[in-house]
Amino acid sequence: MLTLLLFVILAALVFEYINGFHDTANSIATVVATKVLTPSQALLLAASTNLVGALAGTAVAKTIASGLVDTSIVEITSPVIICALMGGVIWNLITWWWGMPSSSSHALVGGLCGAALAAAQNNWDALIWSQPDHPFWKGKGLLWKVVFPMVSSPILGFIAGLLIMGLLFAIISGLGRLGGLLARMVRTRHINGFFGKAQLISAGFMGFAHGSNDAQKTMGIIALALVSATSAGTLDGAPEWLQFLRIEGTAKDLVIPLWIKLSCAVVMAAGTAAGGWRIIKTMGHKMVKLQPIHGFAAETSAASVISLASSLGIPVSTTHNISCAILGVGAAKRFGSIKWTVVERMLWAWVLTIPAAGGIAWLLVRLLKQFGIS
């Protein structure tokens, strides 16, 4: 069982690495598409800011560890967690191959729920559906932590992108009417030069936001596995040098050890540095034609929504937010500038992610049970 626990940690870090290169496009698609940075420069920026963001908090990790599955009904064993992670990994690789920017966050949530449901013999009470609280964002369960944010955060990203882009257009138009030096400053080359520099900040902000939300999800999975292993006595006979794996207590009062934070942060940064060019091409080139001003507006909008969610412990989709922010920016230009056929394919990937990853994880758990592994 100790070997299996170590394999869980390894599988979680593999998921984190794939998350890094799968979601690299979230941080750098716009800054590459606008030619503000070369791909290698953008990767370095994204990797470093993802690393810092991953160390910024633990609220999202605690939600993943204790807010979605009722551990009093279903035992979250090492095989169950491995199946949950594999459900997310397999779906991530499928959508990466298609070049579709699906959500790694929802793939992980779907995998966890599907695996837990199979382990509970299809007892739906094992999933925490809704535990309301006041204010509403403190509520637990899939409704408040997954479903509601899955709908509301992309809408906020779209609206923010539309408003910020509209505001920038209004400011530029107003300066142009003033005449003289100000009018000359709002020529296209000056605008591109200014927002090219500003986009370095917004792209860094986007990388930080991605790290602060996505990296924490894997932290929560690892911590959940170690809490379960400690309470089950798996580590009782472990060598002294492995006792650092012990996490006493329950998932509800979880404290995330520093080594978990560092491991997830470094692995995600490494995955980010590996790049995800298929998805970058879709997001940066196929949805809307972008200039630096559009990239700045999209990144600032999405990063603001994600950072707010991270502070509230809500695991939102970085992919959904930046994609919708890009669409909002495109809509501010004109609705006809959006390539809706690409958007339709993305929406199908979004809708299918949780059930697909959950279905894969469910099948894997059931398969293991056939071999007497649970």
Beta bridge partners of 127: 69
Task: Render the burial of 6-42: b for 16+ CB within 10 Å, e for the rest.
Answer: eebbebbbbbbbbbbbbbbbbbbbbbbbbebbeeeeb
- Cα gap 143→134, rounded to integer Å: 14
Residues in the chain: 374
pLDDT of 218: 87
**Cα–Cα separations (whole angstroms), residue 308 to 62, 210, 219:** 16, 12, 19
Closest CA to 146 of 365, 334, 324, 355: 355
- Cα gap 353→349, rounded to integer Å: 6
136-153 pLDDT tens trace: 767 778 888 888 888 888
3-state secondary structure of 139: coil
Instruction: Supply the pTM of this predicted model.
Output: 0.83
Q: CB atoms < 10 A from the CB of 252, how many? A: 12
pLDDT of 302: 92
pLDDT of 123: 93
**Cα–Cα separations (whole angstroms), residue 110 to 1, 120, 127, 234, 359:** 25, 15, 11, 27, 8
Q: Give the angle 43-85-42 at the CA atoms, nearest 5°.
A: 5
pLDDT of 307: 92
C-alpha Rg value of the chain to the nearest Å: 21
Q: Which residues of the chain have pLDDT under 70?
A: 23-27, 99, 101, 137, 175-189, 250-254, 275-289, 336-339, 341-342, 345-346
